[in-house]
Structure 1
């Protein structure tokens, strides 16, 4: 199924921060943020077992339990199984993303893209989310940032395991769509080259933003458009640095990124717009892009995101951004 026909709007809610990413988030703050998202019309929610070792799914499920199942679209991910056994969250080997959820639950996280693990992951997610079905399932983080030189071997396991299971579940009507949920372009390239199984779309985080979009434009989006495969943009604010935060790629932003954001901010101030509006509208401008799913841990952020989506950004801003070298010549420009 085309994601553009399945998703209820151009703005969804990514729950990674609610897995206690970067900090321990009080339960009431998490509940208030999710309530704000619902009350302001957000109807697409994305989660994953990885986010706080199941914490984000549990928190999301508690909110969604208050609403009819047919009133929202829900996605989660496979590729990791959460065990009852405990471990030190700060000591997990997460490749380039060390310490990402050290404030989450201490349950042991096991990487496994096999068929059996895919079925188990879905069953466990349904229990944590308190629901009877999923709409979209993404194969999670099957890339270099988490698996290093082993990522191609993990990809092959997923191709013969998770990919085929999810294709079967789609054919049986158990799920409506599946794809990859990754922070790198290369696994998307490989998947688009496969004869089978065929995904419905991709959740690509941090790779189609104001700060990083050239490779996606060159290597993924033309083929995705040609094949009718839709893109959900994760991390449209590049882990927060485009929204006033200090993180880029889930780590402290390096100086060159901070300087680049500063140049973008100078332009937005000159044109009287917000950086959030520029970032979000850019992420949604490409024809393949059907939704963006920024995360949040405070209720006020929801109104900011919705406001950024509706803010009028003048064409002169985009022209100046491109002329300054901050935007690829191939990038699709939003229309006013």
Structure 2
């Protein structure tokens, strides 16, 4: 299993970051041995793609893997204001338009390549296909398959928080990979019921993202105010995370270390994708990835009904 960098923060997720901050995050990831980077037009209305491309421009292209996503086209708008309603501290220069049609997918990839400054991406994913599932599966996926056949992308699939729609993609399409966000974590594992077995049977790789459940599992001791699903964590989940953190401490490890290690215990998971607010957080996450919890932790959590 390998470690990847999720690049929503490069698009000013939740708060502003400078270009230098973004470059430092990518540089720290590279120095830690990370060679897989995941982005999307949605992240900061294209800012994440532009910053990621700039940060990798002088790196050997054959040495890293980039994934981006399709399904939201960026259309100029004269509305003004900011994009904080969608979670990003950037000027609202564009609006997102859902489009999983063949033309929309091809345009999305063309626009992403321009922002990244690349002639190809390695992985292209349908982004949140649950919002328009029939269009995404019947038009969007065949369009990605064409791009794969043309060599514009090497691998294709879908990324979502919805394990059921990802299971449909595996059953009804021919993906190489899927990215499951927040649905196979230390806190909750709905993807284990059908999605992961389906991927294992079909030989589809699984990228595990959102393993901190948007932040609730990112601290040694959870506290009220940490986010879950990009909003305030419900009290019952905060209590559960706190109990898990206590068991982690008993076994000489921490909640974020366990959250990072947990997905890789399933053989279907090929990569754990972690976002980071800073270069220091990248270094912390990489160190935790390299020093997983003791094997005794998992039966202890199971025995207490926490896993």
TM range (shorter): over 0.9
1:220-274, CA deviations, whole angstroms, 9 ceiling, x for partnerless residues?
1111111111100011111111112711111111111111110011011111112
Asked if 1:113 is matched to 2:91, the reply is no
Q: Identify the structure with the greater strand proportion.
A: 2
SS in 1 for 2:217: helix
Q: Indicate the residue corresponding to 2:184 in structure 1.
A: 208
Q: Indicate the residue corresponding to 1:296 in structure 2.
A: 276
Residue of structure 1 aligned with 2:230, choices 250, 271, 276: 250
How many Å apart are 1:171 and its aligned residue?
2.1
* TM-score with structure 2 setting the length: 0.94
The number of equivalent residue pairs is: 301
SS in 1 for 2:216: helix
Q: Indicate the residue corresponding to 2:14 in structure 1.
A: 22
Unmatched 5+ stretches in structure 1: 1-8, 92-97, 144-150, 328-336
Asked if 1:43 is matched to 2:35, the reply is yes
Q: Indicate the residue corresponding to 2:207 in structure 1.
A: 232
Asked if 1:198 is matched to 2:174, the reply is yes
Checking the alignment, whether the CA contact within 8 Å between 1:100 and 1:250 is kept in structure 2 is: no
* TM-score with structure 1 setting the length: 0.86
Asked if 1:104 is matched to 2:96, the reply is no
1:114-149, CA deviations, whole angstroms, 9 ceiling, x for partnerless residues?
110101100000011111100000000122xxxxxx
Unmatched 5+ stretches in structure 2: none
Checking the alignment, whether the CA contact within 8 Å between 2:43 and 2:88 is kept in structure 1 is: no
1:86-141, CA deviations, whole angstroms, 9 ceiling, x for partnerless residues?
445667xxxxxx82324124111111111101011000000111111000000001
How many Å apart are 1:10 and its aligned residue?
0.6
Asked if 1:223 is matched to 2:198, the reply is yes
Residue of structure 2 aligned with 1:169, choices 137, 147, 151: 147
Against the structure 1 CA distance between its residues 19 and 312, is the aligned structure 2 distance closer, same or farther, given a 3 Å change threshold?
A: closer
1:296-316, CA deviations, whole angstroms, 9 ceiling, x for partnerless residues?
121111111111112142222
For 2:78 and 2:194, locate their aligned partners in 1 and report how far apart those are by CA, in whole Å. Answer: 40
Q: Indicate the residue corresponding to 1:54 in structure 2.
A: 46
RMSD, aligned α-carbons: 1.6
- Of residues 105-114 and 200-209 in structure 1, the stretch that sits farther from structure 2 once superposed is 105-114
For 1:20 and 1:239, locate their aligned partners in 2 and report how far apart those are by CA, in whole Å. Answer: 15
Asked if 1:155 is matched to 2:150, the reply is no
For 2:81 and 2:118, locate their aligned partners in 1 and report how far apart those are by CA, in whole Å. Answer: 27
For 1:218 and 1:312, locate their aligned partners in 2 and report how far apart those are by CA, in whole Å. Answer: 25
Checking the alignment, whether the CA contact within 8 Å between 1:33 and 1:296 is kept in structure 2 is: yes
Q: Indicate the residue corresponding to 1:326 in structure 2.
A: 306
Checking the alignment, whether the CA contact within 8 Å between 2:180 and 2:208 is kept in structure 1 is: yes
Against the structure 1 CA distance between its residues 155 and 207, is the aligned structure 2 distance closer, same or farther, given a 3 Å change threshold?
A: same
Asked if 1:79 is matched to 2:71, the reply is yes
1:271-310, CA deviations, whole angstroms, 9 ceiling, x for partnerless residues?
1112121111111111110001110121111111111112
For 1:312 and 1:60, locate their aligned partners in 2 and report how far apart those are by CA, in whole Å. Answer: 28
